[in-house]
Structure 1
Amino acid sequence: MSGEWQHGLCGCFDNFGLCIVSWIIPCYRFGKNAEAVGEDCLLCGIGFLVPGLDLFLGAHIRSKIRESKGIQGSFVGDLIMYFCCPFCALVQEAQELEGASPQAESMARE
C-alpha cells in the first residue's frame, strides 16, 4: 500500500487503448471500474450518464478504489476531481485497478 496513485492524473497516455475507450464510452469504463470494487456495473454505467449523479457516483467509486488500495485522500477531494477532470480521473482509476505500474510497463518493454 503505497498511499499514492500508480499513475498521475495526467497519465492518460500510459495506456493509450484504455484512454481511447474511456473517452469514447466513459459510461462503460465507469461501470467496469465500479464492478471491480463490488458495485453494479450496469446501474453505475447508466448513472454516470445523469448530470449531477455522475459527480456523486464518481466520487463514491473513486473513494472505494482509494480505500481498497490504501491511497490517501477524501470524498470531497474525489468530488472536486470529478467536477474538474472526470475523464482523467476515470482513466487514472482504471489504470490503478489494472494494477500495472508505469515502471513495470517500461521494464516489460525492455
Structure 2
Amino acid sequence: EQVHSACPSAGTSMPPATMEPGTTPWSTGLFDCAEDHGVCLLGWCCPCIVVGRMAEILDKGETSTGAGAALYMAIGVLSGWQCQWIYSCVYRTKMRAQYGLQETPCPDCCVHFCWLESCAICQEYRELRNRGFVMDIGWHANVELQRQQGHSDGSIVPPATQHMI
C-alpha cells in the first residue's frame, strides 16, 4: 500500500488476506449526502460527533466516542479550524486499510483537505453504517449485538453491501 507523506500514518492493520488492498469500492459516493439528510446534517453541524463515533468503531473500542470527538474539537480550536482534517484523515486511511477500500477520488488527505471535510466524514460514517455498524451505540454494544445475533466469537461480521458505481 502506498503511503502518502502528507498524511500521518495511523498504524493500521492489514485487511484480511481474502481482501485485496484498495480494490473495494465505497458503498456511497463522496457527495451522496442528499440520500441521507440525517448524516449530512450531523456531519456539517457536529462533525466532532461523527469523527468520534468513527474513531470508536475503527479503534475497536480503544478510543471512546467522547475522546475522539474531544480530540477532533481540540485540534480544530487550537489550530483555528485549520488542521482538524489531519485527525479525520488518519481514520479514513485506517478505514481503507481495514476494508480494502479504494483511495478515490484522490489521496486521503486531499479528500479531507482539498475537498470538503464534512463530505469526507459523512461518506466514512455511511460506509461503517452500511457495513452493519449501529453508529450511535459504540463498539462494545455493536460487539454485544453481534454476539446476540449468533456470532459467538464477538467479532463484527458486517453484512454484504451493494456497491454503487
* TM-score for both structures, normalised by structure 1: 0.79
Cα offsets for 1:57-107 (capped at 9, x unmatched): 111100111112211228x8111111121000010000000016577xxxx
Hey, what does 1:44 align to over in structure 2? 68
Higher Rg: 2
Q: Specify which of 108, 114, 117 is matched with residue 78 of structure 1.
A: 108
Once the two structures are TM-superposed, the CA of residue 53 in structure 1 deviates from its matched residue by: 4.2
Gaps of 5+ in 1: 104-110
Partner of 2:48: 27
CA positional deviation for 1:25: 0.8
**1:60 paired residue among 90, 100, 108:** 90
Query: Would the aligned equivalents of 1:28 and 1:45 in 2 still touch at CA under 8 Å?
Result: yes
Aligned residues: 103
Q: Which structure is higher in RCO with an 8 Å CA cutoff and minimum separation 6?
A: 1
Q: Which of 129, 135, 140 lines up with 1:98 in the alignment?
A: 129
Distance 2:25 2:89 in 1: 17
Q: Percent identity?
A: 26
Whose helix fraction is larger, Structure 1's or Structure 2's? 1
* Distance in structure 2 (CA, Å) of the matches to 1:36 and 1:67: 14
Residue type at the aligned position of 1:15: D
Distance apart, 1:52 and its partner CA = 4.6
Q: CA RMSD in A?
A: 2.5
The alpha-carbon distance between structure 1 residues 102 and 26, as it changes in their structure 2 partners (threshold 3 A), is: farther
Alignment partner, residue 31 of structure 2: 10
Stretches of 4+ aligned residues off by more than 3 angstroms:
100-103
SS of 2:108's partner is helix
Farther-moved stretch of structure 1 (94-103 vs 2-11): 94-103
SS at the partner of 1:48? helix
Q: Which residue of 2 aligns with 1:69?
A: 99
One-letter amino acid of the structure 1 residue matched with residue 87 of structure 2: L
Q: Pick from 79, 96, 119: which aligns with 1:88? A: 119
> For residues 57 and 43 of structure 1, what CA distance do their matches in structure 2 show?
12
**Normalising to structure 2: TM-score of the pair?**
0.55
